[in-house]
Amino acid sequence: MSMFLVLLGPPGAGKGTQARLLAQELKLLHVASGDLFRDAFRAETPLGLKAQEYIGQGELVPDEVTISMVAERLARSDCAEGVMLDGFPRTVEQAEALGRILAQRGACVALVAYIRVRTETLLLRLGGRSTCMSCQAVYHVLYNPPRRPGWCDACGGQLYQRPDDMPSAHRKRIKVYLNQTAPLVEYYQERRILATVDGEQDIEVVQRQLLELVGRAMRTQ
Ligand code: ADP
Ligand code: AMP
């Protein structure tokens, strides 16, 4: 049985942090649209360079580009058993496309876990975030520091501050989230697959609650 899960929430909510932990625990592939864009940018592909124009502005990359990139990723054989989606969908149009892509293979989204966090907290988290250049693991200078400052615990790669994590970009990204992504909470609520988690809690507590929700979704699927 395949398992398609979505982590939804504003920038800084902890989607990437939780997706990594859950993917390990559940042996599911973690697919993050932001990571795919950053990989493409580093490889200097036309897609990566185009996407960076939007990412640098704190805007969403247009739906058409994003949907085809994610559809291509989901078509690969390593996604057959399911994936933990992080950062996708971010618009209603993307959600509709995801539904169609999965329906074509007789699957559907089993659970959308919405990680709710207040804006003040988001700003503190985004301000202290660092990301691994190699494996894209995320850390926080206070809340989740690496063992060796500046270096990734997971792979030993160098940590950097994403350009879109500069303070000037935070509020813009949160505003874009509220306008374009927040409507997905209602969208998935109506489809009765949304569950909300209080993302203000410690990383381990959020993880435990998410695991419980996933377990419940698996039993009822
Ligand atoms: P998102 O993927 O939703 O943008 P991240 O997983 O990158 O969010 O987390 C944003 C920042 O907040 C990172 O620096 C991360 O270490 C930190 N963080 C994530 N979850 C928590 C939490 N529950 N409590 C405190 N800090 C957290
Ligand atoms: P993230 O790593 O999820 O914080 O994403 C970083 C940036 O990549 C976002 O601010 C957007 O510019 C872009 N991006 C990531 N996922 C999407 C998506 N599903 N739709 C549009 N843009 C996206």
CA of 1 to the centre of ligand 1 (A): 30
Measured between alpha carbons, how far apart are the two ends of the chain, in Å? 9
What is the residue-wise DSSP string for 155-216?
T-PBEE--GGGSHHHHHHHHHHIIIIITHHHHHHHHTT-EEEEETTS-HHHHHHHHHHHHHH
* Res 150: pLDDT: 97
pLDDT band at 167 (very low <50, low <70, confident <90, very high): confident
Residue 70 pLDDT exceeds 80: yes
pLDDT at 1 over 80: no
| Mean pLDDT, rounded, of the chain | 95
Q: What percent of the chain has pLDDT over 90?
A: 92
Q: Is the CB of 13 under 6 A from ligand 1?
A: yes
**What's the rounded mean pLDDT across residues 142-166?**
95
Q: How far is the CA of 201 from the centre of ligand 1 (A)?
A: 11
The predicted model gives 169-182 an average pLDDT of 95
Residue 14 beta carbon below 6 angstroms from any ligand 1 atom: yes
Going by CA atoms, what residue is nearest to atom 12 of ligand 2? 55
Pocket test for ligand 1, best of 121, 140, 208, 210 (most atoms within 8 A of CB): 140
Pocket test for ligand 1, best of 7, 8, 17 (most atoms within 8 A of CB): 17
What whole-number distance in Å separates Cα of residue 132 and Cα of residue 139?
A: 8
Q: Confirm or reject: Cβ of 34 under 6 Å from ligand 2.
A: yes
| Each residue's pLDDT tens digit, 42-62 | 999 999 999 999 999 999 999
Q: Strands 109-116 and 82-86, how do they pair?
A: unpaired
User: What is the per-residue pLDDT across 84-126, written as a single tens digit (0 to 9) for each?
Assistant: 999 999 999 999 999 999 999 999 999 999 999 999 999 999 9
Residue 10: CB within 6 Å of ligand 1? no
The bound ligand whose nearest atom lies closest to the alpha carbon of 205 is 1
Q: Which residues are catalytic?
A: 15, 90, 129, 162, 173
pLDDT of residue 166: 85
Produce one character per residue of 166-200: b if its CB has 16 or more CB atoms within 10 Å, e if not: eeebbeebbebbeebbeebbebbeeeebbbbbebe
Domains and their CATH numbers in the chain: 3-126+168-219 (3.40.50.300)
Distance of CA 127 to the CA centre of its chain: 18
| Closest atom of ligand 1 relative to the 18 alpha carbon | 6
pLDDT at 2: 83
At 103 the pLDDT is 96
11 lines ligand 1 (CB under 6 A): yes
138 lines ligand 1 (CB under 6 A): yes
pLDDT score at 164 = 87
Residues 38/135/111/120 CA torsion (nearest 10 deg): -70
